[in-house]
Amino acid sequence: MARKKSTKSKTVKKKSPIKAVTSFKLTRLQEVIAGSFLIILGLILALSFTSFLLTWREDQSILGRLGERELVAGNWLSKLGAWLGDVFVYDGFGIAAYSIAILTIITGLYLFAAKSEVISLSRKRISKLWIWGLLLMVWVSVFLGFFHERNALLGGKVGYELNDFLQDYIGLIGAILVMALTAIIYMVMRLKLTPEKISNYFKSKAADIKSDFKDDEAPATEITELEEDWKSNTVEGKETPLTVEPADEPTVVETPKPPQPIIKSIPATDDDLGMEIQQIADEEEVIDSKSSKLVEDFGEFDPTLELSNFQFPPIDLLKDYTQGRTLTINEEELQANKDRIVETLKNYKIGIAKITATIGPTVTLYEIVPEAGVRISKIKNLEDDIALSLAALGIRIIAPIPGKGTIGIEVPNQNPSIVSMRSVIASPKFQKAEMALPIAFGKTISNETFVVDLAKMPHLLMAGATGQGKSVGLNAVLTSLLYSKHPAEVKFVLVDPKKVELTLFNKIERHYLAKLPDSEDAIITDNSKVINTLNSLCIEMDQRYDILKEAMCRNIKEYNAKFKARKLNPANGHKFLPYIVLVVDEFADLIMTAGKEVETPIARLAQLARAIGIHLIIATQRPSVNVITGMIKANFPARVSFRVQQKVDSRTILDSGGADQLIGRGDMLYTAGNEIIRIQCAFVDTPEVEKITDFIGSQKAYPDAHLLPEYVGEEGGTAIDNIIEERDAKFREAADIIVIAQQGSASLLQRKLKLGYNRAGRIIDQLEAAGIVGGFEGSKARQVLIPDLASLEVFLNEEKNRP
Ligand SMILES: Nc1ncnc2c1ncn2[C@@H]1O[C@H](COP(=O)(O)OP(=O)(O)OP(=O)(O)O)[C@@H](O)[C@H]1O
């Protein structure tokens, strides 16, 4: 068993880092070298073939003796040329073998000048070109096989043999028909040719010729010509008006819009008024829209391009705590526990029909099927007694196990094994997880790796008494994301009042962290600054909602997919949006010092931010109700609890007991709203995190941390803001709006005057300094001190006349 496990981990080791394997890419230098190689190779082929056509007879004799140095070949490329010609032309596809040379040269040119504007074929297009090119080659060689008698070189051996094969089975006529059919299929599929297209083409050509012809004539003759035409088309007195005029005749079509109408003119007769019938030609289908053309030419937008050489941390940076050891529970322990459970229950007159054990890393689950007629609540009530009899900490009774109808008793193992971060990161479940933000928490009680998507949670509340593994848990979350997401895809906003836990992540500031533009440190340790950051995130959220709305996308995933497919123009303010993960360690501290001021933006973010890719992880030691308020709880359906002191704490976090019975050291309960799952959190030690951040930090980074929108606190205007000459140009307009609406809010100005947040904030400060609006009142709008526009006029005039 142990051996099996170690080989398993070895194979997975090779697969890491995750992305490095899946996204194979050439560097620019490699591209140029490979491109040059292919161009030269293509030229060698082309020259060999051409020369072979001329000299094949004389070189025939030496083909079997190419190894003899003294022999001289007539081919321009000597023996190599003779050999290539023989293989590809004579034994191969005849003159159709040129296809290979041409395709090789095109591929070489593409690689060589991939970035230039002249040749910008995408990889997809190149592979399409090869497939169609090779098919065409085979077809041509089979076709030329018909003329084998005349010249064996035309179709080569392959062409001849295939052709012969066809004729043997379906005869000459059959072979010709099959060849015709394949040619039609090729043209329809490759060139998208349809009968309509061909007839349209001829029609427009005919119209062109006619218009050219007409252009040469004087305009005065036009009417007569029309009449002539009409007459000649009149059949037995019946008027069949039929003059096809050129589509782009300026006199008829004022605004030439595609598709151009074909005009039929009906000339006026004595009793009939002339009428023009516009027949709109069928609109041509645009199969390649502009965006798909962009994608074809340049490939999908790659957000990771700026740091394209970024290397994911290798798995070796993580320590293997198990060192080949697997679960260490022994038979005796199992048997003893079982006996005691059976005995204890017997004492309370509970009979057992069946008992099974599942061994987990820290606890073993004994699943009991009670005898018929035993009430489950009875067992539940005996929880403490059973725990006492088993004399072990951390017995948790699950009665019944949801979906199973059995009763679970979890008993801690005497020698719990550590679940290493390495083992969960290396697990196929994590490596293959197709999640936006995969998190490998640890292992479940049945020893399965537990991976969840933070983006689906969509926010996480983490609690646990001090020393029970909360910080390790946070590190496990962050490590999971560092092992799976490129710096372009996710950004962290870290709040760490303890100032020690998350400091290591400073090293990856310019890769993975986001911060306010004016702040020096990316990791926020000062509670007063948290408020600005939270408000800034709210602004980011609003802005993201706006651009999502404009792009007509419902969430960040759709938006980014659309952006990658080049359907959104960066010139209109669109950009690839990274996920933002806000981590607050020690939330209780924050609530104690800043209170409502942080609760409001947190609740707002928690309520609204899921769709636009902002996710919150909030950790606290003190899970009391004044920290984890109803508002917070309502918006954090996913919760994790490490061991807590009391049952009430467990209730506060999980809405049920259980967390007080955990055994600590990373033993945790996870719920996403319904069932509660017991997990042994993966262990990642500080030196390991340090190695990872060092590894990432030593690589090329962005010039700065990801900048969040600027936020100016609404602390209020000062006398400095009250210099009339320095007021904003829109001050008066803003004052009017505020007075009319009787609502002093910056966001109102933002909307009405289409201003940025900062400018609107400044104007509000100036309005406050002038005495038009009242002071900052937290989440409420400011009071407006001027009742109507007339009073405002008087007020401002007085102000002007003041000395
Ligand atoms: N998943 C785990 N597996 C094994 N041991 C663990 C695990 N998590 C934590 N421990 C042990 O518990 C100790 C305390 O963990 P940790 O520092 O995460 O606690 P904490 O809850 O964050 O405490 P504090 O709130 O004081 O920071 C660790 O040093 C480690 O020895």
Cβ burial 243-272 (10 Å sphere, 16+ → b, else e)? bebbbebeeeeeeeeeebbbbebbbeeeee
pLDDT at 679 over 80: yes
The H or E element spanning position 443 is strand 438-444
Q: What percent of the chain has pLDDT over 90?
A: 21
Backbone dihedral angles phi then psi of residue 670, each to the nearest 5 degrees: -125, 135
User: How many domains in the chain?
Assistant: 5
Same domain, yes or no: 702 and 584? yes
The H or E element spanning position 346 is helix 331-347
CA dihedral defined by 356, 358, 364, 370, rounded to 10 degrees? -30
8 A C-beta contact, residue 329 and residue 359: yes
Q: What does the pLDDT look like over 294-337, one tens digit per residue?
A: 776 677 778 888 888 889 999 989 888 765 555 556 788 888 88
Q: For 447-463, what is the mean pLDDT? A: 91
Angle at CA 28, nearest 5°, toward 24 and 30?
70
Residue 476 in contact with ligand 1 by CB distance below 6 A: no
| pLDDT attached to residue 556 | 92
Nearest to 620 by CA among 597, 652, 664: 652
Same domain, yes or no: 357 and 459? no
Same domain, yes or no: 476 and 625? yes
Structural domain includes residue 204: yes
Neighbours of 546 (CB within 10 A): 12
Nearest to 175 by CA among 219, 223, 143: 143
Structural domain includes residue 323: no
For the record, the structure tokens of 77 come out as 């490329």
The residues pairing with 261 across neighbouring beta strands, listed in sequence order, are 280
8 A C-beta contact, residue 24 and residue 347: no
Same domain, yes or no: 627 and 669? yes
Neighbours of 296 (CB within 10 A): 16
The H or E element spanning position 451 is strand 449-453
Same domain, yes or no: 565 and 510? yes
Q: How far apart (Å, rounded) are the C-alpha atoms in residues 164 and 202?
A: 38
Residue 471 in contact with ligand 1 by CB distance below 6 A: yes
Neighbours of 12 (CB within 10 A): 18
| pLDDT attached to residue 582 | 94
pLDDT at 345 over 90: no
The residues pairing with 355 across neighbouring beta strands, listed in sequence order, are 368
Backbone dihedral angles phi then psi of residue 407, each to the nearest 5 degrees: -110, 130
> Any idea what DSSP says for residue 468?
S
| pLDDT attached to residue 722 | 66
Q: Look at strands 706-707 and 514-515 and give their pairing.
A: parallel
Same domain, yes or no: 453 and 368? no
Q: How far apart (Å, rounded) are the C-alpha atoms in residues 629 and 650?
A: 14
Residue type for position 425: I
Neighbours of 636 (CB within 10 A): 22
Residue 472 in contact with ligand 1 by CB distance below 6 A: yes
The predicted model scores a pTM of: 0.58
Interval between CA 663 and ligand 1 midpoint (Å): 12
Structural domain includes residue 49: yes
For the record, the structure tokens of 768 come out as 């406050």
pLDDT at 713 over 80: no
For the record, the structure tokens of 474 come out as 């946070």
Ligand 1: which atom is nearest the Cα of residue 498? 27
Residue type for position 588: A
8 A C-beta contact, residue 642 and residue 463: yes
| pLDDT attached to residue 592 | 81
Q: Which residues are annotated as a binding site?
A: 464-471
Half-sphere exposure of 69 (CA within 13 A, CB side): 0
User: Scanning the structure block, which residue is given the tokens 């997990």?
Assistant: 679
Interval between CA 623 and ligand 1 midpoint (Å): 17
The H or E element spanning position 173 is helix 152-191
Dump strand ranges (E) for 267-384: 275-280, 352-359, 363-370
For the purposes of burial, counting CB atoms within 10 Å of the CB of 209, is it exposed (0-12), middle (13-18) or buried (19 or more)?
exposed
Backbone dihedral angles phi then psi of residue 168, each to the nearest 5 degrees: -60, -35
Ligand 1: which atom is nearest the Cα of residue 419? 3
Q: Which of 191-205, 628-642, 737-751 has the lowest mean pLDDT?
A: 191-205
Confidence of residue 486 (pLDDT cuts 50, 70, 90): very high
Q: What percent of the chain has pLDDT over 70?
A: 81
Confidence of residue 4 (pLDDT cuts 50, 70, 90): very low
| pLDDT attached to residue 225 | 41
Structural domain includes residue 303: no
| pLDDT attached to residue 237 | 38
Ligand 1: which atom is nearest the Cα of residue 681? 1
Backbone dihedral angles phi then psi of residue 551, each to the nearest 5 degrees: -85, 0
8 A C-beta contact, residue 260 and residue 281: yes
| pLDDT attached to residue 38 | 92
ipTM confidence: 0.97
Q: What does the pLDDT look like over 77-127, one tens digit per residue?
A: 888 888 888 889 888 898 899 999 999 998 888 888 765 544 555 677 788
Same domain, yes or no: 122 and 104? yes
Asked which of 141, 171, 192 is the last residue of a domain, the reply is 192
Nearest to 701 by CA among 569, 506, 443: 506
Q: How far apart (Å, rounded) are the C-alpha atoms in residues 295 and 562?
A: 11
Residue 470 in contact with ligand 1 by CB distance below 6 A: yes
Q: How far apart (Å, rounded) are the C-alpha atoms in residues 426 and 313?
A: 12
Confidence of residue 729 (pLDDT cuts 50, 70, 90): confident
User: Scanning the structure block, which residue is given the tokens 């651009």?
Assistant: 547
Interval between CA 528 and ligand 1 midpoint (Å): 28
The boundaries of the domain holding residue 791 are: 719-801
Confidence of residue 3 (pLDDT cuts 50, 70, 90): very low
Q: How far apart (Å, rounded) are the C-alpha atoms in residues 700 and 142?
A: 55
CATH code, domain carrying 701: 3.40.50.300
Residue 361 in contact with ligand 1 by CB distance below 6 A: no
Pocket test for ligand 1, best of 649, 665, 689 (most atoms within 8 A of CB): 665
How far apart are the two ends of the chain, measured CA to CA in Å?
92
Residue type for position 417: S
Which residues have C-beta within 8 Å of that of residue 715, sequence separation ≥ 6?
Answer: 776
Dump strand ranges (E) for 672-726: 676-681, 706-707
Q: Look at strands 614-620 and 460-463 and give their pairing.
A: parallel
Confidence of residue 279 (pLDDT cuts 50, 70, 90): low
Q: Look at strands 352-359 and 579-584 and give their pairing.
A: unpaired
Ligand 1: which atom is nearest the Cα of residue 473? 18
Structural domain includes residue 21: no
Dump strand ranges (E) for 698-760: 706-707
Residue nearest to atom 14 of ligand 1 (CA): 467
Structural domain includes residue 731: yes
Nearest to 480 by CA among 523, 426, 443, 418: 426
Which residues have C-beta within 8 Å of that of residue 365, sequence separation ≥ 6?
Answer: 357, 358, 408, 409, 410, 445, 446
Residue 665 in contact with ligand 1 by CB distance below 6 A: yes
Structural domain includes residue 308: no
Structural domain includes residue 2: no
| pLDDT attached to residue 360 | 84
Greater confidence (267 vs 597) lies with 597
Q: How far apart (Å, rounded) are the C-alpha atoms in residues 371 and 383?
A: 18
Greater confidence (7 vs 752) lies with 752
Angle at CA 186, nearest 5°, toward 183 and 188?
110
Neighbours of 363 (CB within 10 A): 25
User: Scanning the structure block, which residue is given the tokens 């497919």?
Assistant: 565
pLDDT at 58 over 80: no
Residue 418 in contact with ligand 1 by CB distance below 6 A: yes
Q: How far apart (Å, rounded) are the C-alpha atoms in residues 4 and 134?
A: 47
Greater confidence (539 vs 777) lies with 539
Nearest to 792 by CA among 773, 772, 770: 772
Q: What does the pLDDT look like over 619-669, one tens digit per residue?
A: 998 888 888 888 888 888 899 999 998 888 898 889 888 888 888 889 999
Residue 468 in contact with ligand 1 by CB distance below 6 A: yes
Residue 666 in contact with ligand 1 by CB distance below 6 A: yes
Nearest to 671 by CA among 657, 683, 685, 682: 657
Residue 497 in contact with ligand 1 by CB distance below 6 A: no
Interval between CA 643 and ligand 1 midpoint (Å): 11
pLDDT at 136 over 80: yes
Q: Which of 88-102, 122-136, 165-179 has the lowest mean pLDDT?
A: 122-136
pLDDT at 723 over 80: no
Asked which of 261, 280, 299 is the last residue of a domain, the reply is 280
CATH code, domain carrying 350: 3.30.980.40
8 A C-beta contact, residue 313 and residue 695: yes
Which residues have C-beta within 8 Å of that of residue 264, sequence separation ≥ 6?
Answer: 241, 242, 243, 244, 276, 277, 279
Q: Which residues are annotated as a binding site for ATP?
A: 464-471
* H-type alpha helices, 609-719: 630-635, 647-654, 686-697
Same domain, yes or no: 255 and 268? yes
Mean pLDDT score of the chain, rounded to an integer?
Answer: 79
Residue nearest to atom 12 of ligand 1 (CA): 665
Same domain, yes or no: 47 and 125? yes
Q: How far apart (Å, rounded) are the C-alpha atoms in residues 159 and 147?
A: 10
8 A C-beta contact, residue 28 and residue 115: yes
Q: What does the pLDDT look like over 356-374, one tens digit per residue?
A: 888 888 888 888 888 888 7
Same domain, yes or no: 178 and 227? no
Same domain, yes or no: 164 and 204? no
Q: Which of 86-90, 383-387, 687-691 has the lowest mean pLDDT?
A: 383-387
For the purposes of burial, counting CB atoms within 10 Å of the CB of 476, is it exposed (0-12), middle (13-18) or buried (19 or more)?
buried
Cβ burial 425-455 (10 Å sphere, 16+ → b, else e)? bbbeebbebeebbbbbbbbbbeeebbbbebb
Residue 464 in contact with ligand 1 by CB distance below 6 A: yes
Q: For 596-624, what is the mean pLDDT? A: 87
Interval between CA 642 and ligand 1 midpoint (Å): 10
Same domain, yes or no: 440 and 377? no
| pLDDT attached to residue 619 | 92
Which residues have C-beta within 8 Å of that of residue 518, sequence separation ≥ 6?
Answer: 710
Residue nearest to atom 11 of ligand 1 (CA): 665
The H or E element spanning position 398 is strand 396-398
Q: How far apart (Å, rounded) are the C-alpha atoms in residues 761 and 212?
A: 66
Pocket test for ligand 1, best of 468, 618, 642, 653 (most atoms within 8 A of CB): 468
Q: What does the pLDDT look like over 229-278, one tens digit per residue?
A: 434 443 333 333 333 333 333 333 333 344 444 444 444 444 555 566 65
For the record, the structure tokens of 174 come out as 């059959």
Asked which of 218, 247, 280 is the last residue of a domain, the reply is 280
Residue 613 in contact with ligand 1 by CB distance below 6 A: no
Q: How far apart (Å, rounded) are the C-alpha atoms in residues 66 and 164?
A: 31
| pLDDT attached to residue 325 | 57
Residue 683 in contact with ligand 1 by CB distance below 6 A: yes
The H or E element spanning position 668 is strand 667-671
8 A C-beta contact, residue 758 and residue 712: yes
